[in-house]
Structure 1
């Protein structure tokens, strides 16, 4: 029988502990609102005793996001009266507030972190829970470093704090030390005893990723009775990060027959949430990361593309639409096979080739792909028109479409503190177009100059740049997202000159817009 498990998001607390990822109040509120859209069950909004700013952020989230009875707002406290009061005074404005207390449970923490005996720590934990219960009815107790604790002492602690009033017991693998079979066995033993002690108390887990097993350990815990899991968006967090919310949720969603469990998470909001957290925190998502990585649903291998075109389930176990993406992406590269390239041409209405013609066109495609890395739809138009020109043939299907595309000829960008400016020279239909503009920075000036030259009203939504090689000749890869008439377009380009890469990416986006909106009817 399928059962619900609770999803506790700690992106705004544990996730924000990543160096350099600190959010301001506005950003915290926006992330919390998005987590509410994602329909997580609980949001850990921060660590209010750490600073006045964090206290105020938790308070605002409790007031403005926790104003419904289907979402629990909590924050972290050490087993110290002042911490617990800070949590209470910040989360009490929510409809469903909860106090979260954490205290070490392992010998290592007792001896080396606290310098106290385990019996002293147990007493401190019980007193903390009793005090928290005078403030709020819902209290979570986390047995920090539980995966390295002596089991009988761990159970003694759990039993004592439950009798003191804890309503959730959280079992953290604080340093990512556990492995799935071991951690699953631990949760099974605790769950068996806990349900006999008080079956109203929820059993929770919090797994770190130091050995790359946070998601696997969390899933093992679900299989062995965990009622609640603590995760972060994109798996961010202290050191190597936490269990990734999207990975846990989609694993259970995809393999429901294995886990016999479900969540209330709205999977359609996964990508929106991932992108917001990545942008606000300035933390790029690993390109090959499961679920939210840029390449998670992109297929460039000819073998894979061929299989997907024949039947999606050959190489795709999750429909990208289910997590908020448009659809799978067949990336045309030098590794793409004939079937994928032929399908791409067909989708553009260009499929009237003989076998001999296609083989020659495919050769031209490979030459361009070797030079350009990724081939866009507008490149396919150019390939076809150039092919027919080379053969001195007229192709009525083409209707000289490629003359509608823009090509970057030259650019000049001046960067200074007062008036960053740019001039560009473009080519279209054999004509030279020029544009010039000033901007708030060199990229803004460059893109404004390109818009001036092509006379299109395009809104830049996102701009990302990263190095994809090292040394003096390092390649810079630019990825942009633009909006035109309510539709979103993503384009990329690479070059040793990052300004040229930026311009090429923008031109690629413009040519995609031309295909969808501005090509003449054939």
Structure 2
């Protein structure tokens, strides 16, 4: 029979330790609500003793998210009474609260960090567990820096705190030092001893990613008997981060033949959770990040696109729908092959091409792709119409609609503290529009000006800028998500001028909406958020 693996999410505690990622009370509660929707078993909501603000945030999570017994709320304490009191007073409002404490077991921590003997540290841990146990029935004890600890002393500590009443033992690879094979062997030995002592106590691991092995180490631990895994969304956390929840969960799900286990995670909420965390914390997800990166289900290679169109399993082991996306994304670039371009044209209704006509259209596609980097659906309409105008052939798809799409011709931005303003020149077919607008900032003014021209009402849901090259001439990439009539659309653009890139991204989003109105079945450029 498959065994359950408990998922402990520490995004709100370890994840928040990333410099600049501090969350306010409202944001913590919102993320906690989403984590509950995702189906995690335990939320570590913070470190209450660190500040009054964090105490109040943990308390709010306990009251508003932990108000049903199907999720456990905890927070971190050092093995001292005042910290334990802070955790208790913050999490006690949850229906299923737990106290989590941490104390080092490696020689480096015992001798250099605490300047105490091993026996003294062990007794501090036992006393702390006994005190916590007098407050709440659920107590987790973490043996910090376990991967660099003497094994027999580590076991002696675990045995002592289990006898003192700990209900969960967490074994952290605090500095990402572990190696999967050795780590797995150690977890197997601990699991054997713990189950013989008290098989009701859960064995947990908390792996850091300093050497890029956090996910591998977490999975090795699970294969060797660990009952629970501690993770963060998008793998965020101290230094190089933690094991990424989405990677661990999807690895277990995809390779069920290896692990024969299950979790309570609703994987269809993974992308929603990832984007919420990224947005609130201001931490962009690496584009090639497994599962939640922008490119995780995007394919631009012609060889890959051809294979995928013939059979999804040729290059796809995880279905994007399983993690909350609508579908895979075939990105049209100069590397795309004929099959991908023909497929994209077919979705737009362009199907009746002769071989000669398609080759001419494909040539136009390659020319645009070389200059524009990425080709959108609205570009395909223009390419088709340009081909027939240039060759003076009759267009079998007489209504190409290319004169309905917008293009940014010029812009001027004035940024100051009083009246940020923008002036734009936008064309639509043969029509040219000029307008100006003011806003709360330069981007707001720019988008207000473009909106005045297009008269397509949209709500800006997300706006991100990132650098895609270095130096003074660095390319700035802008990614936006807009909402129109209940649907969300994603668009991107890159330029050395980030304001121009911002305008281009907005125009691309508007044109995606126009495409959807022309052909409602086209959803390739809609966002899944």
Instruction: Assess same fold via TM > 0.5.
Output: yes
TM class, shorter-length: over 0.9
Contact 1:401–1:519 under 8 Å retained in 2? no
Q: CA deviation at 1:435?
A: 2.8
Change (3 A) 1:463 1:384: same
2:515 & 2:60 partners in 1: Cα distance? Answer: 46
Match of 2:314 in 1: 314
TM-score when normalising by structure 2: 0.97
Q: CA deviation at 1:398?
A: 3.6
Helix, strand or coil at the partner of 1:191: helix
Match of 1:358 in 2: 358
Match of 1:438 in 2: 438
Match of 2:105 in 1: 105
| Mapping for residues 20-39 of structure 1, pairs under 5 Å | 20-39=20-39
Q: CA deviation at 1:498?
A: 1.3
Q: CA deviation at 1:470?
A: 2.0
Change (3 A) 1:225 1:74: same
| Mapping for residues 298-447 of structure 1, pairs under 5 Å | 298-447=298-447
What per-residue deviation string (whole Å, max 9, x for no partner) do you get for residues 443-502 of structure 1?
Answer: 111111111011111111111111212223221111111111111111111111111111
Contact 1:76–1:101 under 8 Å retained in 2? yes
Q: CA deviation at 1:519?
A: 6.8
**Are 1:73 and 2:73 counterparts?**
yes
Gaps of 5+ in 2: 522-529
What per-residue deviation string (whole Å, max 9, x for no partner) do you get for residues 179-213 of structure 1?
Answer: 11111111100011101100110000000001100
Helix, strand or coil at the partner of 2:248: helix
| Mapping for residues 503-514 of structure 1, pairs under 5 Å | 503-514=503-514
Contact 1:433–1:454 under 8 Å retained in 2? no
Contact 2:247–2:290 under 8 Å retained in 1? yes
Q: Which moved more, 1:489-498 or 1:397-406?
A: 397-406
1:61 & 1:296 partners in 2: Cα distance? Answer: 32
Match of 1:464 in 2: 464
Q: CA deviation at 1:436?
A: 2.3
What per-residue deviation string (whole Å, max 9, x for no partner) do you get for residues 352-402 of structure 1?
Answer: 111122122111111100000000001001001000000112214141410
Contact 1:436–1:453 under 8 Å retained in 2? no
Contact 1:299–1:329 under 8 Å retained in 2? yes
Number of aligned pairs? 521
Helix, strand or coil at the partner of 1:136: coil
Match of 1:269 in 2: 269
What per-residue deviation string (whole Å, max 9, x for no partner) do you get for residues 232-265 of structure 1?
Answer: 0000011110000000000011111111111001
Helix, strand or coil at the partner of 1:225: coil
1:148 & 1:519 partners in 2: Cα distance? Answer: 60
Match of 1:498 in 2: 498
Match of 1:210 in 2: 210
Q: CA deviation at 1:433?
A: 2.0
1:468 & 1:21 partners in 2: Cα distance? Answer: 22
Match of 1:236 in 2: 236
Change (3 A) 1:519 1:320: closer
What per-residue deviation string (whole Å, max 9, x for no partner) do you get for residues 112-168 of structure 1?
Answer: 111111111111100000111110011000011111111111111111110100000
1:427 & 1:332 partners in 2: Cα distance? Answer: 24
1:519 & 1:414 partners in 2: Cα distance? Answer: 38
The two structures, once aligned, show a CA RMSD in angstroms of 1.2
